[in-house]
Amino acid sequence: MNQNLPLKERPIDIFFIIMFSLFFITSCISDLYPTIGIPLDPNSTNALARANYDYAYQCDPLFLTPPVWMRFVTGLSAFVYGPFYLVLVFCIYKGYNRIQVPAIVYATAISVITGVIVFGVEFFGEPEWRCQNLGRFLPLNLPYVIIPLILLFRMRKEKPFERKF
């Protein structure tokens, strides 16, 4: 018997549905470009290439000229996390508890990769890859660490959709 709470009684899950839907869009728009080698150029006829260039030029040189290892990170986002966001959103919406373990794996992986490795390079790495504008960088990138950590906390006990949080 399904004892899951209706979605309207799980406001944190409504928040997750919104945020992971946005994460799906950004993984398709932003992370796909460096992964497949589309140049970020201020003079490009491609509006997304120009927008990505603007972001990278102003605050994220690691994203502007990504080394091979960073292209693996963006590739994970574009081709693994992106599709997973769709599955996650669907499972949260439906209240499918089977998403618990994959959600824990995802939240742990992205928190470590982004929060430790990428942020480590952005803040303490080679000077040419260090973040130049924390005021712009952090609001755009910190949610990719904080929200998965909140999801990890949400998924900490069995049958997460049977409780509000």
Identity of the amino acid at 126 = E
Domain boundaries along the sequence of the chain: 8-162
Question: Residues 88-121: pLDDT tens digits?
Answer: 999 999 999 999 999 999 999 999 999 999 999 9
Question: What is the residue-level pLDDT of the chain in tens, covering all 165 positions?
Answer: 568 999 999 999 999 999 999 999 999 999 999 999 999 999 999 999 999 999 999 999 999 999 999 999 999 999 999 999 999 999 999 999 999 999 999 999 999 999 999 999 999 999 999 998 999 999 999 999 999 999 999 999 999 999 988
CA distance 144 to 124: 19
CA distance 80 to 159: 25
| Of the candidates 100, 136, 98, 138, the residue with the CA atom closest to the CA atom of residue 118 | 138
Distance of CA 73 to the CA centre of its chain: 11
